[in-house]
């Protein structure tokens, strides 16, 4: 597809090729005017396959294309933006990237978008590995917490019952000596004064009908 590069872009191409980030520049119709060699390395897509085309044509997923269109709308509205997104690759993959976008206007009033792309695939892989490791650590930790809760419930259900019933047994089951003293005390309190000097015969039998 034939397209004309603005003069300022022709002057900047050499500088853009020295950057360590992927660079994509498009016009106000979203046609790609330039990509640097880092972009080609990141995606596996050659310049010949993308120059003059809408970069949205490279997206195989309708969902990704819809997100791309929303990001473009925000950039036009705000004039700049920084987004975490995916780039399509030549083999049909999705490369996680951070895109820093800035809109500029040339002296003729034409709008262009300059996009700097940073590959964050290693960061995403590290985050996924960390999440998996945290999940493995959380599972035994959760089991330990559940065991502790169960142990606490068992202890609470047993300890109060043992203390209460033990106390009741101590009150209701006094020793034989204490029980004998209790009976003697009760009997002594029930006897009238005139019976205190009488001789006891047998167990709790006294002379005198009044006693």
Q: pLDDT, tens digit, for every residue of 43-91?
A: 999 999 999 999 888 887 888 888 888 999 998 889 999 999 999 999 8
More confident call, 91 vs 130: 91
pLDDT by residue (tens digit) across 93-107? Answer: 899 999 999 999 988
The predicted pLDDT at position 161 comes to 52
**pTM listed for this prediction:** 0.60
Lowest mean pLDDT among 84-88, 168-172, 177-181: 168-172
Confidence tier at 194 by pLDDT (50, 70, 90): low
Nearest to 23 by CA among 56, 12, 147: 12
User: Cβ distance 22 to 36 under 8 Å?
Assistant: yes
Question: Looking at the predicted structure, is the pLDDT value of residue 172 above 70?
Answer: no
More confident call, 175 vs 69: 69
Confidence tier at 175 by pLDDT (50, 70, 90): low
pLDDT by residue (tens digit) across 17-34? Answer: 999 999 999 998 999 999
What does the alpha-carbon distance between residue 62 and residue 52 come to, in Å, rounded to a whole number?
21
The predicted pLDDT at position 100 comes to 94
The predicted pLDDT at position 21 comes to 94
Question: Looking at the predicted structure, is the pLDDT value of residue 143 above 80?
Answer: no
Indicate the average pLDDT of the chain.
78
The predicted pLDDT at position 167 comes to 47
The predicted pLDDT at position 189 comes to 53
More confident call, 188 vs 151: 151
The predicted pLDDT at position 107 comes to 84
């Amino acid at each position: 597809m034939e397209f004309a590069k603005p003069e300022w872009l022709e002057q900047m191409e050499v500088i853009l090729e020295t950057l360590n980030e992927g660079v994509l520049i498009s016009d106000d119709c979203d046609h790609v005017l330039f990509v640097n060699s880092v972009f080609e390395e990141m995606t596996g897509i050659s310049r010949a396959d993308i120059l003059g085309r809408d970069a949205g044509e490279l997206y195989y997923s309708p969902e990704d294309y819809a997100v791309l269109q929303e990001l473009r709308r925000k950039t036009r509205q705000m004039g700049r933006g920084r987004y975490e997104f995916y780039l399509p690759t030549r083999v049909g993959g999705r490369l996680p990237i951070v895109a820093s976008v800035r809109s500029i206007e040339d002296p003729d009033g034409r709008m262009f978008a300059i996009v700097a792309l940073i590959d964050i695939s290693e960061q995403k892989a590290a985050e996924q590995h960390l999440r998996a490791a945290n999940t493995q650590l959380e599972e035994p930790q959760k089991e330990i917490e559940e065991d502790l809760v169960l142990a606490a419930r068992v202890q609470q259900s047993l300890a109060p019952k043992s203390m209460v019933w033990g106390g009741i047994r101590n009150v209701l089951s006094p020793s034989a000596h204490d029980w004998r003293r209790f009976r003697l005390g009760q009997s002594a309190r029930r006897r009238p004064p005139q019976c205190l000097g009488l001789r006891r015969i047998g167990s709790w039998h006294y002379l005198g009908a009044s006693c």
